[in-house]
Structure 1
Amino acid sequence: MPLHVPPAPAPALRSVLAALGSPTAVREARTPALRSVQGPLSPELPLPVHVLERITAGDTAPRTRLAAWRFLIRSEERAVAAADTMLTPDGWAFSHFFEGPYLASTELAVRQAEASTSAYQARLLSIPELYMLTLWLHGDTDADASGGTLAPTDVLVPLAPAPPGIAAHRPHRVADLLPVMTLRVTPGPLLSSA
């Protein structure tokens, strides 16, 4: 498999396992699917979640920051929820459970990436300015997963729902998608009413 999924920090995994083992955490989660599932639950496919701080014109290598580790929560053969962890002064800690369209979209994008002939390190990239989440396929499979520089040859796969005009599940090189994203967030000229 050419797709490399970096190992999550052990405290992040332990915090998710503890939350899954807590009837209170599961019962109070805003995830009907998680509350109604019968049988064992397991956290799988840990992905570092990076946030693109700001998109600016001429920014050839935008930097990101590691914001979370996300785990898909499986019951038998399907993902029923996801769990995010966050970095606290004491280390990685469970943040929350959630569900929604990004679960199935993440699984589909990962399956597509696994079929690729190129080797990549899997990450998630959130682009708040566009309300967009992508599977980030980083070209350096041995890189520290907490590092956050987008290489022009890295590949971004927008997850569904994607912003209007950007096709979900279509891989784009960063060098090709970055100008489109920059154009989307750059304010246009003001129209005069004269």
Structure 2
Amino acid sequence: MPLHVPPAPAPALRSVLTALSSPTAVREARTPSLLGAQGPATPELPLPVHVLDRITPEGVAATRLTGWRFLIRCGDRAVAAAETMLTPDGWAFSHFFEGPYITSTERALRQAESVTQPYQPRLLSVPGLYMLTLWLHGDCAADAATGHPAATDLLIPLAPAPPGIAAHRPHRVSELLPVLTHRTLPPTPPLLGSPA
């Protein structure tokens, strides 16, 4: 089943195209694979990046949109990614980067293509665990900038994943959220006068 990739805001895409055409922006990016790329570089597969801020007492994941990420393709492979951010003046280019999340994102998207149910792909960052997941949202018509993971949505942890969480293994939100809750909550301090 094809994924329903949401369209990125036009100003976000324009800012990435402008950065790609700027020799200064590419040179200062410190991305050797982008600097050494042969042929034209094109931004593809825009994915909204949401950050998991907290998990409510009711077990709802409170998220917020922080940007849009584009895979930068040269020829037949992605060589880097470009991230945009929302500023008071609108969407703006933030930075280029490379690393393991580029190939891991491509792999997770290929995995998601084989799922029979249609999904809207997003990225979900869990800063407390240094974790990034491909979030497959079940409401394909939803505004990609809003919402929170539903219990039946799928999360595919990208590699490298935190210890004890298998990368590229799809999990229902209802299964993975309790694990994330347990791992990201601060430990309860001991009561005064109780043994440590």
Which TM bucket (shorter chain)?
over 0.9
Unpaired runs of 5+ residues, structure 2, are none
Q: Does 1:181 align with 2:180?
A: yes
Q: May I ask how many residue pairs the two structures share in their alignment?
A: 193
Aligned to 1:15: 15
The whole-number CA distance in structure 1 between the counterparts of 2:90 and 2:32 is: 29
User: 1:60, CA displacement in angstroms?
Assistant: 2.1
Unpaired runs of 5+ residues, structure 1, are none
The whole-number CA distance in structure 1 between the counterparts of 2:4 and 2:40 is: 26
Aligned to 1:44: 44
CA contact (8 A) 1:60 1:152 kept: no
TM superposition score normalised by structure 2: 0.94
**Equivalent residue letter for 1:135:** L
Aligned to 2:170: 171
Q: Pairwise CA RMSD of aligned residues? A: 1.5
CA contact (8 A) 1:54 1:129 kept: no
TM superposition score normalised by structure 1: 0.95
User: 1:188, CA displacement in angstroms?
Assistant: 3.8
Within a 5 Å distance, the mapping from 1:101-140 to structure 2 comes to 101-140=100-139
Secondary structure of the residue that 1:38 maps to in structure 2? coil
User: 1:12, CA displacement in angstroms?
Assistant: 0.4
Instruction: Name the % identity.
Output: 73
Higher relative contact order (CA 8 A, sep 6+): 1
User: 1:115, CA displacement in angstroms?
Assistant: 0.7
CA contact (8 A) 2:55 2:62 kept: no
CA contact (8 A) 1:120 1:140 kept: yes
User: 1:193, CA displacement in angstroms?
Assistant: 6.7
**Equivalent residue letter for 2:100:** P
- Which consecutive segments of 4 or more residues in structure 1 shift more than 2 A? 186-194
The farther-off stretch of 158-167 and 60-69 is: 60-69
CA contact (8 A) 1:155 1:172 kept: yes
The whole-number CA distance in structure 2 between the counterparts of 1:53 and 1:186 is: 11
User: 1:186, CA displacement in angstroms?
Assistant: 2.5
